[in-house]
Each structure stands twice: as structure tokens, then as C-alpha cells.
Amino acid sequence: MSKTKNGSNLRLAGIFIVVVLGLIVISGLFKLVLIVKESKFDGSHNFIVSFVGKDKTQIVSFSPQSRTVSILDVESKYDKDIAKTFEIPIDGIINFQNPDKNNMSSVLLKSAFSLGDSLKRITVLDAFRLFLFYKTVPQNNIYERQLSSGLNDAQKSTVISLSMTDASVYQENQAIQIINASDIPGIGSRLAALITNIGGNVVLISTSDKIAKNSSIVYFGKESYTVKKMSSYLGISPENSDQRGVADVIITIGTDKADSLGF
């Protein structure tokens, strides 16, 4: 009787362990699927990451098309409003003690195994992919520039454009029109500066007579990489139109996005 009872208990314990292990495996697989789904760096297009250290910030553009890495050194620490301050579309942020060109690969690798604690808006998979890409870039293809406070606006714009230009956006050279239909003055000009800084071709900026609730991106012809990038960054679904206007792409900023845009 005692042996039968002990055997039954052992079977129950075994079933319990199997169930727990199964739940752990399922949970791990679910998290892995989410990480893959949320990852943004595809290994083919430009990706911009801000490395925020204790006393300084580095904005780094990873460019698989040209196999280059451009590092923009900023004198101060910027852990908030980086995109708004420099009018650069930041894809993700990595917090680290002392970011530096000489230890960037180790920073990326450590971030990939940090369980996401040091990452914002990017995943551990993104960090690992960036690490792998960085290791393939020749040292003479890694450019470092200073964005010092002594530069005037024109000089700052030149340094940012040299460092942050997205080769695919620049090569497509699509004419872009921006309409500010929100109630925030200057938001159209800031978006234009951001697009220009990554190589975009903004041909017209205007302010609508009527305030619009919904923002939109309307494009003509085939949906381009430029449209997809702007749609992803701004969080606005693109719409196709067969009526071509003065531009290939028309971006309208309404009140729904005016307060949430990060530039």
C-alpha cells in the first residue's frame, strides 16, 4: 500500500515538473516570437541609435548599403528629446556608462545579453544584429564627427547630414510635401529638417487653413522605402493615390499626432 502510494506521488511529481517545464518553454518561445516581431534592424537599411553615457551622447548611423558607420559626438548627455534636439529620426537608444568608438562592439554585445535593461525602442535581437554588422565594417569605414556647441546652424546641419544620410532615401530622391494641419506652429518645418537630415528631398512646406484631426501619408505610384520609413517612424499608415500632385509623397500632420511626435 505504501509502495503504491509512493509510486503515485512520484508520478504526480513527474507530471508537475513536466507541466512546469512545458510552461517555461512556451513562455520562452512566446517571448522570442515577440522579440523577433518587434525587432527593427533588417540588416539592409540605415539604422540610427543613440548611445547615452554618463557625461556624453553618441548618435550612430549604421549603414549596411555602404558598409559604413558614422558616429556623431555630442558634448552633453541627452537621454530625452534627442530627436527633437537634433532633428534626427532615432530608431533606438542604448544606455551605457562610457560609449566610445573603441568599445562600441562590446557595448552592443553586452546590450544584446542585458535582457533589455539598457535598451529603449530596440530589442536584444537588434543589438546583436548591430554587433554582427559592426564587426564586418572596416576601420577606415567608421567615421567620427564632432557636433560642438561652437558650430552655427548651417554647420550643424552639414555635419548631421554627412553623418545621418540614409542612402536609400537619398537615392530614391522622392519629392516630399509637408502640410501642417495641426495647431502647433513650426512642426512642419521641424519634420522637413528631420527628413532633409537623412537625405530626403522636401520640395514644399505649407500650413493648412483648416485644422485636421487625422494625420496622413499619401503617395503616388509604388510604395517606396521612403514612404515605409516615414510611415514607421511617424506611426501613420500610408495611403495610395492615383492623382499625382506637386510631390511624390504628401505628409499631413494633424492634431492626432502633433503631441506624440518625437521631433
Domain range for 126 is 47-164
Q: Is residue 220 part of a domain?
A: yes
Q: Is residue 232 part of a domain?
A: yes
**Tens digit of each residue's pLDDT (9 = 90 or more) over 108-117:** 988 888 766 7
For residue 79, pLDDT over 90 is answered with no
One domain for residues 171 and 225: yes
**Number of domains the chain is built from:** 2
Q: Is residue 143 part of a domain?
A: yes
Q: Is residue 94 part of a domain?
A: yes
pTM reported for the whole predicted model: 0.82
- Tell me 184's DSSP state: S
One domain for residues 214 and 226: yes
One domain for residues 53 and 146: yes
Q: Which residues contact 226 (CB under 8 A, 6 or more apart)?
A: 168, 169, 172, 174, 176, 200, 249
CATH number, position 245? 3.30.70.2390
- Residue 237 CB-half CA count within 13 A: 2
- Which set of grid coordinates corresponds to residue 222? 509604388
Q: Can you tell me whether residue 56 is helix, strand or coil?
A: coil
The closest of 231, 70, 47 to 137, measured between CA atoms, is: 70
One domain for residues 142 and 176: no
Please give the order of strands across the beta sheet that includes 175-180. Answer: 201-207, 175-180, 249-253, 216-220, 238-241
Q: Is residue 182 part of a domain?
A: yes
Rounded to an integer, what distance in angstroms lies between the CA atom of residue 166 and that of residue 224?
14
Of 164, 197, 219, the one marking the end of a domain is 164
One domain for residues 171 and 147: no
How large is the average pLDDT for residues 208-222?
A: 94
pLDDT at 7: 61
Q: Is residue 200 part of a domain?
A: yes
One domain for residues 130 and 195: no
The closest of 95, 145, 141 to 120, measured between CA atoms, is: 95
**Tens digit of each residue's pLDDT (9 = 90 or more) over 132-183:** 999 999 999 999 999 887 889 899 999 999 999 999 999 999 999 999 999 8
Strand partners, 67: none
Using pLDDT thresholds of 50, 70 and 90, give the confidence band for residue 38. Answer: low
For 49, list phi and psi in degrees, rounded to 5. -125, 140
